[in-house]
Homo-oligomer: A and B are copies of this chain.
Amino acid sequence: MESHPSVPDVSALCAKRFSDFGIRPTAQRMQIASLLLAAPQHLSAEQILACLRATGARVSKATVYNTLNLFASRGLIRQLCVDGARAWFDSNIGPHYHFHDLDSGRLIDVPIPDVQFSRLPPPPPGMEMAGIDLVIRLRKKPAEG
């Protein structure tokens, strides 16, 4: 039995990820992962809670937070810090950077090949780079005159 090409089997993907990352599958975890992994996207905890409740799912706020923290700590998703207001959870765990639209708050992925460094500072002695977070802030271009 095959799924429609435009509706890939997210459940199967989630199940595989759970086993890959050593995460015990439960109904709530499947629902949260299915929502996030349906596409590369950036969602807040509150958005996830609202989406799930809108579809009739029975899930608590505490479970959403606990689950997102679990996913992030295992590497299933990535937690972003782009504004001080709240955390964003990124279902794209491959390396990439972000545009941040200051007007709308929207995040847009920037693929790795679009950014090249010709120079980076050496880490301080005894330390090593654990990652690079790059956020390019965007605003509306003013009308020409």
A interface vs B, CB < 8 Å?
Answer: 79, 81-84, 86-87, 99, 101-102, 108, 110, 114-121, 123-124, 126-141
Residues of B within 8 A of A82 (CB): 81
Identify the closest chain B residue to A143 (Cβ): B126
A131 to B126, CA, bound (A): 31
How many angstroms from the CA of A126 to the CA of B82 in the assembled complex? 22
Give the oligomeric copy count.
Answer: 2
With both beta carbons as reference points, the residue of chain B lying nearest to A110 in the complex is identified as B121
Bound together, the chains give a CA A123 to CA B110 distance in angstroms of 10
Tell me if B118 and A116 are in contact (CB < 8 A): yes
Apart from the given pairs A114-B120, A126-B141, 5 other A-B contacts in the complex at a CB distance below 8 Å:
A81-B81, A102-B130, A129-B136, A130-B137, A134-B134
Looking across the interface, which residue of chain B has its beta carbon closest to that of A121? Answer: B114
